[in-house]
Structure 1
Amino acid sequence: MSSTTNRDPFELRDLAAEAGKRLEDASATDILEWAVGEFGERFCVTSSMADAAVVHLASKVAPGIDVVFLDTGLHFPETLQVRDFVASTMDVNVRSIRPDQSVLGQDAEFGPRLFERAPDECCALRKVLPLNEALADYDGWATGLRRDEGPTRANTRVVDFDVSRRKVKVSPIAKWTEADQLAYIERYDIPVNPLLGDGFRSVGCWPCTRRTEPGEDPRAGRWAAFDKTECGLHA
């Protein structure tokens, strides 16, 4: 049963360490079943809406589960269309979380096109801080990270402790390959962002995302003008 107060972070840290070892070879469904059984309503899924594979997995384990989507105000229309389709067709509760400031408000305070001058700061304002606030009422959260997505994700654990947020972080498909995920998507007719079929390997905010060339790292199209491949959500 879930409680109404945050659990002790040291307890969560030890829980994540033990579960991470024990569930390393478990299936994605078994990992999610463990998390839902451990945290109940204090567990959610986060999704960028590149596709909805993890959302679909979670909906089968815990119908009505909360799905946190960070609405930065800078998404491609295709991304918002996937979010709306997921909300209307899957048994989940999509929570669209917006930053405190609109894009225009951010421009007024920090100057226009902050993403071109200081992308880390822009990501912090429009993604990291909103996620931190959104996760305040949860003890654990699920991501769609895979180890084969690139060097920065190669050591992703199926269950880990997020030190900065003091939450248990669950990555049920960490061991999947891209082919595994595509097979799941095809089997269950999972919605996919159409940009992934139009030269994009990873989809984020439109100002900071470009198409990738054959053979490039899947995340090479993110912040291509900077030494940056992560927004900070998974630091």
Structure 2
Amino acid sequence: MKDLPGLLAQQKDIAAGIRILTAEFPGAVAFSTSFGQEDQVLADIIWKNNLPVRVFTLDTGRLFQETYDLMDLTRARYKQPFEIYFPETAAVEALVKEKGMNSFYDSVENRKECCYIRKVVPLNRALQGTKVWITGLRAEQSENRHDMPVLEWDEGRQLYKYNPLIHWTFEEMTAYLDKHNVPYNKLHDKGFISIGCAPCTRAIEPGEHPRAGRWWWEESKKECGLHTS
């Protein structure tokens, strides 16, 4: 096998990097999109270049209407399919029955439990049989992501995680969206930088950290468990 981490770290052309991975792992490369700005950049690159990558998203059941609108707009723009994974019905029903609809406000443990049921479990199901998971992570997004490499080994899931935008700045990302007229979530124009579930996301004030709008009532690290070991 090639020195994939070294090869991809030097590869500035994202489409070329993805081609290297799809050639090495045919039929086993997947991209997870939350329809955020970063993910729209990658979706544009994947679909415009007809790259053989399976694209999927997670619907937690608590997303903004604007996110659903963007899903439909993106489907109409590119005319490409993407898979949607939902939480397990029984697990959500049990959580709501035991703790109520908004238990995540009560404690960090409750919030992480909700994220696990609505996000992590569906993600693990979506990634079954996958050898390379493409993400839209950027180092600027949070402290947990500062030291992430372009290509890393996810020991828990036994696959490579490819983070082609990890060194991109916010300005580089928005410049790409503007240049290529890529559709994006209109909430971004209202101060929502990082968009997740509607009850857990607010707009940020000028000068606030980009992740300050996620789980704003918590003091802990702003992660849901999708990208932590």
Flag whether TM exceeds 0.5 (same fold).
yes
Corresponding position of 1:230:
223
Percent sequence identity over aligned pairs: 33
Pair 1:172-2:176 in alignment? no
1:39 aligns with 2:51: no
CA distance, structure 2, for counterparts of residue 213 and residue 139 of structure 1: 39
Q: Calculate the aligned-residue CA RMSD, in Å.
A: 1.8
Alignment match of 2:209 (pick from 208, 214, 217):
217
The reply to whether residue 71 of structure 1 matches residue 59 of structure 2 is yes
How many Å apart are 1:106 and its aligned residue? 3.5
Are 2:176 and 1:184 aligned? Answer: yes
TM-score, reference length from structure 1: 0.87
Q: What's the CA shift string for 1:43-75, capped at 9, x where partnerless?
A: 111111113111111123434632110000000
Task: Supply the distance in 2 between the matched residues of 1:104 and 1:195 (Cα, whole angstroms).
Answer: 29
**TM-score, length-scaled by structure 2:** 0.89
Matches within 5 A, 1:192-211: 192-211=184-203
Q: Secondary structure at the match of 1:67?
A: strand
Residue 106 of structure 1 is matched in structure 2 by 95
Contact 2:25-2:131 at 8 Å conserved across structures: yes
What does residue range 145-164 of structure 1 map to in structure 2 within 5 Å?
Answer: 145-164=137-156
Instruction: Provide the rounded CA distance (Å) in 2 between the counterparts of 1:24 and 1:109.
Output: 47
How far apart, in 1, do the equivalents of 2:88 and 2:124 lie? 12
Contact persistence 1:64–1:92 (CA under 8 A)? no
Counterpart selection for 2:76 from 64, 88, 91 = 88
| Conserved? CA contact 2:133–2:160, under 8 Å | yes
Give the deviation of 1:36 after TM superposition.
Answer: 1.8
Cα deviation for residue 164 of structure 1 reads 1.3
**TM-superposition CA deviations, 1:51-103 (whole Å, max 9, x none):** 31111111234346321100000000111111122223225321110001275
For 1:143 and 1:200, locate their aligned partners in 2 and report how far apart those are by CA, in whole Å.
20
Q: How many residues align?
A: 220
Question: 2:11: which partner in 1?
Answer: 26
